[in-house]
């Protein structure tokens, strides 16, 4: 495959300095699609455009590059740090992004507060609290908290006792003995702190005391014929055994290790991460890579810099493959400079640590092998579907699709939804809601005109949350809805491609033609449009229901033939608005005074325009 490199890029490459720095690659519309760092900018950037053999992923990147810029830094370490920050800022398509943004749960104990509590934290703050975890496999965070609650009488309330005040009487937990109630009995404060120390010992891996406490409580509950409580404690003891079985016997309980391994293939790659805390394997995670570009050591280095966003869970050691040896000093200095903590990077060749590394690599290889079919299907539903959609619409590129829908009931509480799909997948943080303000009655055309007018106005004004330009707008409906949307965009003096998808026959309408485009039901472009359309409909209905639910009684009274008495009967029978919305017509006939005909009328009124 031969690349067509523009003269502009060729000339810029000649002027590159032989210094460390960061390079930023742009697509034709100015979008940042890749950020990289280099020890020598001239050599690294030149390698992309020199005509040498390239991988499929690198070829795809370079073929989309319209321009590039660069920033010179004082050192490779500065370049590495700047690269990490720019990737977070721009989220380029061809860089490694931690798409799986799960926040793993920790157990937190703040020893600075009076009568320290044991709490769950998913995004721990840097406040000096003790953190234990994360708990992701083997034993759940809920089980850990239950173990502590059953075994140790510590407080679970949210009150602040730092002012030194003593309460007059204990709360219900204190009266039942579930808490030592040091807030009332000052002489128990020393005992309370000793109990917290036992909790800390348990969370650090010492399970002897908690097993003893739970066994005694289980036997006591059994003797008192409290069999359900005894069974619950027995289940917790079994969970403890699972936790103990995760202990890697060849490691000390002080061993805190992260292991990274990368397996690459032409279609999909995967980075597997093993976390060892307190000598126990607490979990292994897979992070699949699709279009990310770079050599193996570059991908791992970039991933590690993104993986450690905070210093809350830094290990003492990181285990890596030999290919990362040249990056050892760079990564160690990067972590120390960012977090002020020294982490040792090792390349084991034998022993238990080599076994951990081999296990991590084996997991990555297994994930790649088992995920290939799933990846190919996902690619067809996203990347391939977008390519096909470009051919149908005549657009050169479609990345961001915005879908719109209107929801109302008899013209009341009219709302509109805006959902966003980027790279063929929903981007829920970009979803927006609109309350229709200027339209009276059930006029979908006018409602769509208002919605798109407000959307485009906010885009022109670069209003926060609305400043990203869509590549394509999808409207739920036929030609009428399409023309309303086009009219609003044209009136604002903008040009944004719009298409509509009619639900009845799944026909696609495009600008400039009254004839629909009909695709096979199995067509991936159609299936993508259906996903966007259905999601915009779901989001609009949910918003509409929430608005209606705020005054459900008045809503029921708006239904013809429903008076105050019948409305109250419906409320009394279903109790919640969710149950009313989810009820079937026959469910309403179970209410005294509601016939089958009336039940059907109520059902249709509730679900009109959904």
- Whether 549 shows a pLDDT value over 60: the answer reads no
Long-range contacts of 194-197 (CB under 8 A, 24+ apart): 195/152, 195/153, 195/154, 196/109, 196/111, 196/116, 196/118, 196/154
Angle at which helix 141-151 crosses helix 208-223, to 10 degrees, equals 70
Residues 6+ apart with CB under 8 A from 342: 332, 335, 336
Per-residue model confidence (pLDDT) at position 138: 53
Return the minimum-mean-pLDDT range out of 217-221, 275-279, 352-356.
275-279
Q: Whose structure tokens read 């996902």?
A: 378
Whether omega for the bond prior to residue 450 falls within 30 degrees of 0, making it cis, is no
This prediction's pTM: 0.62
Distance CA 255, CA 361 (A): 20
Per-residue model confidence (pLDDT) at position 601: 84
At 276 the three-state DSSP class reads strand
Distance CA 602, CA 85 (A): 56
Which helix (H) or strand (E) segment holds residue 501: the answer is strand 498-502
517 within 8 A of 508, measured Cβ to Cβ: yes
**Mind listing the pLDDT tens digit for each residue in 139-180?**
677 888 888 888 889 988 888 888 777 788 888 788 888 889
**Mind listing the pLDDT tens digit for each residue in 94-126?**
888 765 445 567 888 988 888 999 988 876 676
**Mind listing the pLDDT tens digit for each residue in 398-440?**
989 999 998 876 556 788 999 999 989 999 889 999 988 888 7
**Mind listing the pLDDT tens digit for each residue in 25-74?**
998 878 899 999 999 999 999 999 887 777 888 888 888 899 999 999 99
Domains annotated on the chain, with CATH: 7-90 (3.40.1440.10), 137-234 (no CATH), 257-369 (3.30.420.10), 400-533 (3.30.420.340), 551-607 (1.10.150.20)
Task: Quickly state the pLDDT bin for 552 (edges 50, 70, 90).
Answer: low
Which helix (H) or strand (E) segment holds residue 119: the answer is strand 118-121
Task: Quickly state the pLDDT bin for 609 (edges 50, 70, 90).
Answer: very low
Distance CA 531, CA 467 (A): 24
Which helix (H) or strand (E) segment holds residue 24: the answer is strand 21-26
Per-residue model confidence (pLDDT) at position 551: 55
- Whether 137 shows a pLDDT value over 80: the answer reads no
Task: Tell me how far CA of residue 2 lies from CA of 14, 60, 232, 325, 397, in angstroms.
Answer: 20, 12, 67, 34, 21
At 430 the three-state DSSP class reads helix
Distance CA 511, CA 225 (A): 75
Per-residue model confidence (pLDDT) at position 555: 64
Distance CA 120, CA 102 (A): 15
CB atoms near residue 297 (< 10 Å): 17
Return the minimum-mean-pLDDT range out of 240-254, 375-389, 413-427, 489-503.
240-254
Which helix (H) or strand (E) segment holds residue 259: the answer is strand 257-263
**Mind listing the pLDDT tens digit for each residue in 476-534?**
888 888 999 999 999 988 999 999 998 878 999 988 888 888 989 889 999 999 999 99
Distance CA 195, CA 192 (A): 5
- Whether 4 shows a pLDDT value over 50: the answer reads yes
Pairing of the two strands 472-476 and 432-435: unpaired
Write out the two tokens for 540.
């609009």
Residue 568 φ then ψ, to 5°? -65, -35
- The better pLDDT of the pair 169, 322 is held by 322
Q: What is the mean pLDDT of the chain?
A: 85
CB atoms near residue 122 (< 10 Å): 13
Per-residue model confidence (pLDDT) at position 360: 92
Provide the CA 363 distance to its chain's centre, in angstroms. Answer: 23
Distance CA 362, CA 321 (A): 13
Task: Quickly state the pLDDT bin for 285 (edges 50, 70, 90).
Answer: confident
- 268-272, 289-293, 584-588 — which one is most confidently predicted on average? 268-272
Residues above pLDDT 70, as percent of the chain: 91
Per-residue model confidence (pLDDT) at position 409: 65
Write out the two tokens for 326.
């040249």
- Whether 257 shows a pLDDT value over 60: the answer reads yes
**Cβ density class 28-55: b for 16+ within 10 Å, e for less:** eeeebbbbbbbbebbebbeebbeeeebe
On the 0-12 / 13-18 / 19+ scale of CB atoms within 10 A, 560 is exposed
Stretch 211-237: mean pLDDT: 88
Q: Which segments within 56-105 are labelled E, that is strand?
A: 67-72
Secondary structure string (H, E, C) spanning 540-581 = HHHHHHHHHHCCHHHHHHCCCCCCHHHHHHHHHHHCCHHHHH
On the 0-12 / 13-18 / 19+ scale of CB atoms within 10 A, 261 is buried
Write out the two tokens for 378.
């996902």
Distance CA 356, CA 277 (A): 13
Distance CA 263, CA 270 (A): 5
- 93-107, 376-390, 535-549 — which one is most confidently predicted on average? 376-390
Residues 6+ apart with CB under 8 A from 142: none
Stretch 372-400: mean pLDDT: 88
Per-residue model confidence (pLDDT) at position 79: 92
Radius of gyration (C-alpha) of the chain in whole angstroms:
30
450 within 8 A of 380, measured Cβ to Cβ: no
**Mind listing the pLDDT tens digit for each residue in 491-502?**
988 999 999 998
Residues 6+ apart with CB under 8 A from 69: 23, 24, 26
Residues 6+ apart with CB under 8 A from 165: none
Residue 540: closest CA among 353, 389, 409, 423: 409
- Whether 135 shows a pLDDT value over 90: the answer reads no
At 225 the three-state DSSP class reads coil
Q: Which segments within 395-443 are labelled E, that is strand?
A: 400-409, 412-422, 425-426, 432-435
Task: Tell me how far CA of residue 481 lies from CA of 389, 396, 471, in angstroms.
Answer: 20, 25, 19
Residues 6+ apart with CB under 8 A from 251: 257, 276, 279, 352
Residue 22 φ then ψ, to 5°? -120, 140
Per-residue model confidence (pLDDT) at position 573: 80
Long-range contacts of 440-446 (CB under 8 A, 24+ apart): 440/411, 441/411, 442/408, 442/410, 442/411, 442/414, 442/609, 443/411, 444/406, 444/477, 444/480, 444/481, 444/484, 445/480, 445/481, 445/483, 445/484, 446/484
Per-residue model confidence (pLDDT) at position 101: 41
């Amino acid at each position: 495959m031969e690349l067509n490199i523009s003269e502009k890029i060729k000339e810029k490459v000649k002027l590159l300095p032989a210094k460390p720095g960061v390079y930023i690659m742009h697509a034709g519309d100015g979008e940042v699609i890749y950020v990289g760092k280099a020890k020598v900018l001239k050599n690294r950037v030149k390698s992309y455009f020199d005509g040498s053999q390239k991988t499929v992923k690198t070829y795809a990147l370079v073929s989309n590059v319209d321009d590039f810029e660069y920033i010179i830094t004082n050192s490779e370490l500065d370049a590495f740090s700047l690269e990490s920050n720019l990737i977070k800022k721009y989220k380029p398509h061809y860089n490694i992004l931690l798409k799986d943004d799960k926040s793993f749960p920790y157990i937190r104990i703040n020893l600075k507060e009076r009568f320290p509590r044991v709490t769950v934290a998913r995004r721990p703050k840097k406040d000096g609290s003790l953190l234990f975890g994360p708990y992701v496999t083997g034993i759940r965070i809920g089980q850990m908290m239950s173990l502590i609650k059953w075994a140790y009488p510590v407080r679970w309330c949210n009150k602040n006792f730092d002012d030194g005040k003593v309460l007059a009487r204990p709360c219900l937990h204190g009266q039942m003995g579930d808490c030592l109630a040091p807030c009332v009995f000052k002489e128990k404060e020393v005992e309370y702190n000793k109990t917290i120390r036992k909790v800390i010992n348990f969370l650090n891996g010492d399970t002897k005391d908690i097993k003893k406490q739970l066994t005694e409580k289980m036997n006591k509950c059994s003797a008192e014929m409290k069999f359900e409580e005894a069974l619950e404690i027995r289940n917790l003891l079994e969970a403890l055994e699972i936790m103990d079985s995760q202990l890697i016997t060849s490691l000390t309980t002080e061993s805190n290790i992260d292991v990274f391994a990368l397996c690459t293939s032409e279609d999909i790659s995967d980075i597997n991460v093993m976390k060892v805390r307190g000598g126990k394997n607490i979990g292994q995670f897979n992070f699949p890579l699709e279009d990310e570009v770079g050599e193996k050591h570059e991908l791992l280095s970039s991933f590690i810099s993104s993986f450690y966003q905070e210093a809350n869970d830094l290990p003492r050691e990181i285990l890596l493959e030999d290919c990362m040896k040249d990056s050892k000093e760079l990564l160690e200095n990067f972590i120390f400079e960012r977090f002020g903590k020294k982490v040792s990077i090792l390349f084991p060749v034998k022993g238990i640590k080599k076994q951990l590394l081999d296990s991590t690599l084996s997991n990555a290889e297994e994930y790649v092998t088992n995920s290939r079919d799933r990846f190919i299907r996902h690619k067809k539903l996203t990347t391939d579907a977008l390519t096909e959609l470009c051919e149908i619409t005549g657009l050169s590129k479609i990345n961001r699709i915005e879908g719109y829908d209107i929801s109302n009931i008899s013209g009341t509480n009219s709302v509109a939804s805006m959902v966003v799909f980027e790279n063929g997948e929903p981007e829920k943080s970009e979803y927006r809601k609109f309350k229709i303000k200027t339209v009276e009655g059930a006029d979908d055309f006018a409602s769509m005109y208002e919605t798109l007018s407000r959307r485009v106005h906010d885009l022109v004004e670069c209003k926060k949350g609305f400043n990203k330009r869509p590549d394509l707008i999808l409207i739920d409906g036929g030609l009428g809805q399409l023309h309303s949307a086009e009219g609003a965009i044209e009136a604002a003096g903008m040009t944004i491609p719009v298409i509509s998808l009619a639900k009845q026959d799944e026909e696609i309408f495009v600008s400039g033609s009254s004839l629909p485009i009909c695709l096979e039901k199995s067509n991936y472009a159609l299936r993508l449009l259906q996903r966007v359309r259905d999601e915009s409909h779901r989001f609009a209905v949910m918003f509409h229901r929430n608005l209606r639910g705020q005054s459900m009684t008045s809503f029921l009274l708006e239904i013809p033939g429903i008076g105050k008495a019948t409305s109250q009967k419906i409320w009394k029978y279903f109790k919640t608005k969710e149950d009313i919305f989810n009820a079937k017509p026959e469910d309403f006939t179970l209410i005294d005074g509601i016939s089958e005909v009336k039940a059907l009328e109520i059902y249709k009124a509730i679900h009109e325009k959904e």
